[in-house]
Structure 1
Amino acid sequence: MVRPFALLAAVALAVGLTGCATTDSPGGGAATGDPAAPAELRIGYQLIPNGDLIVKDQQWLEKALPNTKIIWSRFDSGGDVNTAIVAGSIDIGLAGSSPVSRGLAAPLNIPYTVPWIFDVIGDNESLVVRKESGVTSLAGLAGKKIATPFASTAHYSLLAALADAGVAESSVQVIDLQPPDIQAAWTRGDIDAAYVWTPVLAELQKTGTTLITSRQLAAKGKVTADLAVVTKAFATTYPEALSTWLQQQDKAVKLVRSDKTAAAAAIARQLNLSPEEASRQLDELVLLDASEQAKPEYLGTAEKPGGLATNLHAAAEFLVGQGKLEVAPDLATYQQGINPAALAAAFPG
């Protein structure tokens, strides 16, 4: 189990390691003379086949913000993104709904908000067991070693799946590994099962059996998503740059719908996959354009925050029940943690 003080210790170390960096603005660089454009925009991305990789591949941000240096930094989990945000290393990042639910809660209280939903997680995040284990149901996992990145959406989904099946967490050995390490441990035969996301998931499924997917858990009320988080300092200082960023993300979703071949090719280049495999993985996610994100079930509006806040609050309450979070903040904390106003500013009318 990872206690909050362990994550705080990691944050303190990260702050110490980055303390020598000099910044003159929330964007991480000297002023450009243009109040609408930061000198730098530092983005934390993950290898997830959604619109963010299309924006990166097509260099749309670089073209839309020619006076800003765009710095892309890869992370393996939302927990790492939380640490980087607290350390002041990035301005915008991708984190799953479970890490964001933790990030907005004490003791972290990370000063960021959610202006965009990268994707609603579906079949791209699943629990897979080795075929030779003979396990065919969740109940059969008792006594097995299961790997997942702690404090991630996969970790949350694993706990939810076990609880729903009546399998005590104490009856299994849950191991904290990042996706690349999960693949290596699977290859060595060190683990029996794993709850993880693509592209590592796709490799495990070649020799494993899928027991449950996050899409199936969503149908049971345990919805997970990949969210954008932006520091309050950046959003306040550079609202026009944030609007530009949001517009590129919407452009990527629309490309998936209008020219899936081009979208899959862009993702394939970023993940070093065939276009066919990238297209298949893309189909496992639910992508939402700007108009859909403003609906009541998602971000909602500034006047009436949407269902995402309720989902984050429910996740926090579940994590408290599992002993992974000490206290769940009230719903208002999560309503304040989502940022539909930024979306409305980027897409007026």
Structure 2
Amino acid sequence: MKLRLVPALALALCLAACSTGTGASSAVNADANADANANADGSPKELRIGYQLIPNGDLIVKDQRWLENELPGTKVTWIKFDSGGDVNTAMVAGSIEIGLAGSSPVTRGLSAPLNIPYQVPWIFDVIGENEALVAREATSVDGLKGKKIATPFASTAHYSLLAALQRAGLAESDVTVVDLEPPDIQAAWTRGDIDAAYVWTPVLGELRKTGKTLVTSKELAAEGKLTADLAVVRTPFATSYPETLRTWLRQQDRAVKLVRSDKQAAAAAVGRQLNLAPDEAAAQLDELILLDGKEQAGPDYLGTPDAPGKLAENLRDAAAFLKAQNKLPSVPELTVFQKGLATKDLRDAFSG
């Protein structure tokens, strides 16, 4: 959920990790006193979750208070973020334990110079038609030359925008890309300050009412530029509280199965969180691909401890693309991304 080396994000991360200049240092320091956060039964006293307003199972878990019910001794705190870049910043600062970030920010987080000590235990959704490039007047991507396009920097939408421009034969310098979070994109669109935007629902739905969709992330995925919304968990937290993480994973699986078994109830829950009518929430749910725990352990996704899935290859491919766009200084080895998949935690959550 990606422009000129993302200076604002880089500055924020630098400030958050000022002790050594790396993201890993601050996050590890934040977890150094993990025992102080433990209850007598070994569960954490508090679990801070970074969520986004994306119509997937995470909002169902939040709405239904399943974690609060399953972890009665733990204070569950939900903190809203507008983009994955902000989630990365929070992870570096040590202010959340679990968060939602798109595959592009996770690629950056696992790569140098950030090297955030986190792993991916769950895929919230594979992005489809719920993320797209919408224009006010242009009827094709190449028609955006010289125009102003908004997107949240360091997000999957930013990554997809760069891919869409390249696909249309445009260089980044052929357009003006501005960094705006989704709520600001909607305001800028209403004022007429931007010509186009690459963003996700629910803001995308508002832009589509008066704009034209030029390309969707589903189309780009079919050409090898797949994007997804991923869960990230700080590695020291996962090590200290494995049963809590397994409980979290089981609730996410429960939400996906609710979507499949009772779409009306799932849409009502998502609608409450997004302030949307259930039918509109249901339509937005349909634009995403949701996977249950068994599917996530398959070879096309997270895989298993003995056989990491293709998600690792996808993240490395994204790193190579971002390196070519001068957004990363180097491309990590595939093993970096394979180690970044929490396949053991996923397996343990559903074994036995």
Say yes or no: TM over 0.5. yes
**Contact persistence 1:24–1:30 (CA under 8 A):** no
**Structure 2 counterpart of 1:294:** 297
Please report how far the alpha carbon of residue 26 of structure 1 lies from its aligned counterpart in structure 2 after TM superposition: 3.9
Distance 1:220 1:85, change over 3 A: same
Distance 1:254 1:168, change over 3 A: same
RMSD over aligned Cα, in angstroms?
1.8
Please report how far the alpha carbon of residue 24 of structure 1 lies from its aligned counterpart in structure 2 after TM superposition: 8.0
**Structure 1 counterpart of 2:9:** 7
**Structure 2 counterpart of 1:115:** 121
SS in structure 2 of the partner of residue 110 of structure 1: coil
Match of 1:128 among 119, 131, 134: 134
**Contact persistence 1:146–1:195 (CA under 8 A):** yes
Q: Does 1:265 align with 2:271?
A: no
Match of 1:32 among 32, 39, 60: 39
Q: Does 1:218 align with 2:225?
A: no
Give the partner amino acid of 1:3.
L
Please report how far the alpha carbon of residue 325 of structure 1 lies from its aligned counterpart in structure 2 after TM superposition: 1.0
Unaligned runs of 5+ in 2: 19-25
Match of 2:81 among 64, 69, 75: 75
SS in structure 2 of the partner of residue 47 of structure 1: coil
Give the partner amino acid of 1:138.
V
SS in structure 2 of the partner of residue 89 of structure 1: coil
**Contact persistence 1:24–1:31 (CA under 8 A):** no
**Structure 2 counterpart of 1:338:** 341
**Structure 2 counterpart of 1:95:** 101
Please report how far the alpha carbon of residue 8 of structure 1 lies from its aligned counterpart in structure 2 after TM superposition: 3.8
**Contact persistence 2:31–2:236 (CA under 8 A):** no
**Contact persistence 1:42–1:71 (CA under 8 A):** yes
Q: How does 1:217-256 map to 2 (within 5 A)?
A: 217-256=220-259
SS in structure 2 of the partner of residue 229 of structure 1: strand
**2-structure distance, mates of 1:155, 1:22:** 29
Q: How does 1:290-329 map to 2 (within 5 A)?
A: 290-329=293-332
**Contact persistence 1:313–1:328 (CA under 8 A):** yes
**2-structure distance, mates of 1:44, 1:120:** 19
Give the partner amino acid of 1:214.
S
Match of 2:163 among 150, 160, 164: 160
**1-structure distance, mates of 2:7, 2:275:** 37
**2-structure distance, mates of 1:159, 1:99:** 14
SS in structure 2 of the partner of residue 147 of structure 1: strand
When normalised by structure 1's length, the TM-score is: 0.95
Please report how far the alpha carbon of residue 25 of structure 1 lies from its aligned counterpart in structure 2 after TM superposition: 4.6
**Structure 2 counterpart of 1:139:** 142
Distance 1:217 1:26, change over 3 A: farther
**Structure 1 counterpart of 2:49:** 43
Distance 1:237 1:171, change over 3 A: same
**1-structure distance, mates of 2:51, 2:33:** 21
Describe the superposition over 1:245-302 as per-residue Cα deviations: whole angstroms up to 9, x where unpaired: 0000000000000000000000000000000110000000000000000000000110
SS in structure 1 of the partner of residue 95 of structure 2: coil
SS in structure 1 of the partner of residue 77 of structure 2: strand
**Contact persistence 1:15–1:88 (CA under 8 A):** no
Please report how far the alpha carbon of residue 15 of structure 1 lies from its aligned counterpart in structure 2 after TM superposition: 6.0
**1-structure distance, mates of 2:69, 2:14:** 36
Q: Which range moved further: 52-61 or 323-332?
A: 323-332
**Contact persistence 1:4–1:107 (CA under 8 A):** no
Give the partner amino acid of 1:292.
E
Percent of paired sites with the same residue: 68
**Contact persistence 1:4–1:325 (CA under 8 A):** no
When normalised by structure 2's length, the TM-score is: 0.94
Unaligned runs of 5+ in 1: none
Q: Does 1:176 align with 2:199?
A: no
